[in-house]
Each structure stands twice: as C-alpha cells, then as structure tokens.
Amino acid sequence: MATVLGTPNSVPDHVPPELVRSIGFMLNPEFLADPYDFFPRLQEEQPPVFYDTDPVMGSGWVTIKHELAFKALRNSENMTIETTSIFPRDPDNYFNLIPQELDPPVHRKFRNVLDPFLSPKAVLQLEKDIRGLANDLIDKFIDKGHCEFTNDFARPLPVTVFLRFMGLPLEMTDTFVKWVVSLISFAERDKAVEIMAEIEEYMSRVIIEKRANPDEGAISRIVHGTIDGEPLNERDIYGFVFFLFIAGIDTVYAALNNTWVWLARNPDRRREMIADPDNIDNQAEELLRIFGVTFSGRTLTSDYELDGITMKKGDRLMALLPACNYDPEVFPNPREVRFDRPRKPILTFTGGVHACMGAHLARLEYKIALQEWLRRIPEFDLAPGTQITYPPSGVIGPAAVPLVW
C-alpha cells in the first residue's frame, strides 16, 4: 500500500546538486500517460539514487535500484517506516496502522497474530471460495459480450475476498466498495474524515460482536489474539483491523486492472499463457513484476550512507518499487514479459520485515482471476476507441478498462 502525501520543501544543503531531479512522478503527464513505460525509462535515464523534489509526494531520496531498495528496506536500525497522512486520524484518539507503522521487535509479535492464517498453505483454504466468486462475477456479464472490468470484476473480487477473510457479512460489499473508493480517491479528500468515522463506527460494533462470539475470521483472531500473553488494547485492535481494510483492497484491484489492459492488447501472449496452464505460477509472478502498483517510504532516524551517498537523519527515502522491478541487472531486458525467467525476488510486495503480509492471498486472488477469466473469456479486446488513462493515486492503475468479446 502507498504511504505518503508530503509537502515540497527546499533541497537541503547536504544533497549534491547533481543528484537533484524532479521526475514529477505522480502528476507528470508522461507518467500518467503510461506508467509502465515511465518506470523502465527511469532505469534508462536516471541514476540509482537521486533526490526528487515532488509537489505531491514531497521531497526526498528515491532509489530505483533493486539491490539498494532491498538494502534500505531491510534496514531497521537507521530508518523507520514513514507515517501516512492519507488516512486522517484523530490525534486525541490515535491509532497506529498495525503492523505497518510498528518497528521491530514488537512488529513481529503483531505479525504472529495473523501470519499463520496468511501463509501460502492457510490461504489455500480460501481457494474454492475465490474461484466460485470469480465465476459468479463472470456469470453476470459474460453473455452481454462486454464489461467495464474495473467495476464489474477487479473491484468486487478483492473486496469480497477481504470480507470473507475478515469474517464480515457479504451484504457489506457495496458499502465497503463505496468506502474504499472515497478514501483512496484524490478527488474526495475532504470526505476522508467523514468516511473514516463511518468505518470506525461500523468496525467498533463488529469488534464488540466478535469479542462475544469468536469465529474463524481475522477480526476475531485479532480481538482474541495475544502479545506476550496479553490481549491487544482497543486502539491496537482497531488499528490492525483498519490497516487490513486499506492494505489489500486497492492494491489487488490496481494490479488486476493493469494486467487486463496488457492481456487485451497482447492476444498472442494471452494465448501463450492459455496454452501453458501448468506455468501459471511463473506467469503470475512475472506479470506481478511488470505491474508493481505502489512504493515504500522510510524516514531516516540517523545518518545513513546508500551507494556512497550520505543521507541525513530526518531525510525521507523512497524505494520506487515498480521501477526497481525493471532493474536490468536483475531482470535482463526488463521490459520483456518472459514466463521462463529464473526466479528472482520481485519488489511488488516490498521487502524487509514490512514485506506485505497478505502477499500469498494477493497472489492467490490474482492467479485465480487469471485462470478463471482466461478459461471462460479467452478472446477479448479493449472496447473500440478506448483511451486508457491513469488517475493520480498512491496505487497505480487505469481509471477504467472497458472490454468487449
């Protein structure tokens, strides 16, 4: 998930002028026209580490190098995770986004509350449900010969999977869709406080209910979880539940949308995938490399040297994950989608102790979506005249994907 909305500031004295850039990441028309041309181009045109001044993201160090990103993300001694300001929180009744905003060693203890239910093996219990759900969604539009992919498939799939994983009623799907759309949209910033209150009001009731009636869902696991033998406190429980809500919904959505644009535009590659169903794991992993959707921010808690560059305490450092996935030293000919690459770590789910805890569930959803869609709608195209546009967002994906078949 995305981290920050910052404010631009002047370039500090310790930053070498030759490293200052303004790639204009979020609002740059070139970026918004085609982010997945923009990211590999950064590899071709920019140094491994530079200092970016950005009106949306704020100013700070950026790395686009696979090795350096992992090095920084795996360092908990010199940096802390950047606190997000996207989701407005009441300072008098604050909660942390858990476990994202916690540092080691306590971070691991919170992860242990849910990790057992998010392991590759544990998420397989949801496989049948997810497959059924993907097919139910396809049933609704397959005979029409067209759909608007983002709204008809990519949005409801992860929201419904989230509701099932959390132990929430599926009747809440539309409400959750509305909440997530409003919260993430740059255009509805003024409504965020109101939406946050609505979510908290609802979730607080659910938490009370789960306390009285435990079940197998994640909310109940958190409510009844323990850290060093002690139950979690109220704000931590809420922070954990809220974090899961924002973490898994928009990211899978964006990854699906990006991928389906590519599938529609590349019929030969699509047919190649269909002809080799046993290779689905490698196909999914390679497409997840190509279509990273977000980035990871840190704030330095002490001076730090990266790639020979001295950074100062208080500086921000961002790993531009989708760009790192195109590092030619790790993925030769990085723009090329190849389903037979030797397995290498991708940065789509970030790295270090804060690597995505829902990665296995996300991979499973993504894989099932590919399998079921390609099985039932193997031939499709973008609707005639479609112009794919990308809205500015902390999670990168097209605004609409109208498909026909």
Nearer to other proteins, 181 or 359 (CB): 359
CB of 20 to other proteins, least distance (A): 30
- Examine residue 121 and tell whether it contacts other proteins (CB under 8 A): yes
**SS3 label, residue 24:** coil
Choose the stretch contacting other proteins; rule: CB under 8 A; options: 39-47, 246-254, 344-352, 369-377: 344-352
- Examine residue 119 and tell whether it contacts other proteins (CB under 8 A): yes
- Examine residue 74 and tell whether it contacts other proteins (CB under 8 A): yes
Q: Are 324 and 69 in contact (CB under 8 A)?
A: yes
CB of 394 to other proteins, least distance (A): 23
Nearer to other proteins, 74 or 205 (CB): 74
Contact pick of 346, 374, 396, 401 for other proteins (by CB under 8 A): 346
Contact pick of 24, 48, 352, 398 for other proteins (by CB under 8 A): 352
121 vs 49: CA distance, rounded Å? 38
Q: Which residue has the tokens 């990871």?
A: 296
Choose the stretch contacting other proteins; rule: CB under 8 A; options: 23-31, 109-117, 171-179, 292-300: 109-117
Element holding 192 (H helix, E strand): helix 192-212
Pairing of strands 230-231, 226-227: antiparallel
- Examine residue 116 and tell whether it contacts other proteins (CB under 8 A): yes
**SS3 label, residue 102:** coil
158 vs 160: CA distance, rounded Å? 5
Instruction: Dig out the tokens for 84 from the structure.
Output: 């997000």
279 vs 376: CA distance, rounded Å? 18
Amino acid at the residue 59: S
Instruction: Dig out the tokens for 396 from the structure.
Output: 């990168």
CB of 5 to other proteins, least distance (A): 27
Element holding 60 (H helix, E strand): strand 60-63
Count interface residues toward other proteins (CB under 8 A).
26
Nearer to other proteins, 353 or 400 (CB): 353
Residues at the contact surface with other proteins, assessed by CB under 8 A: 70-71, 74, 108, 112, 115-116, 118-121, 285, 342-346, 349, 351-353, 355, 357, 359-360, 363
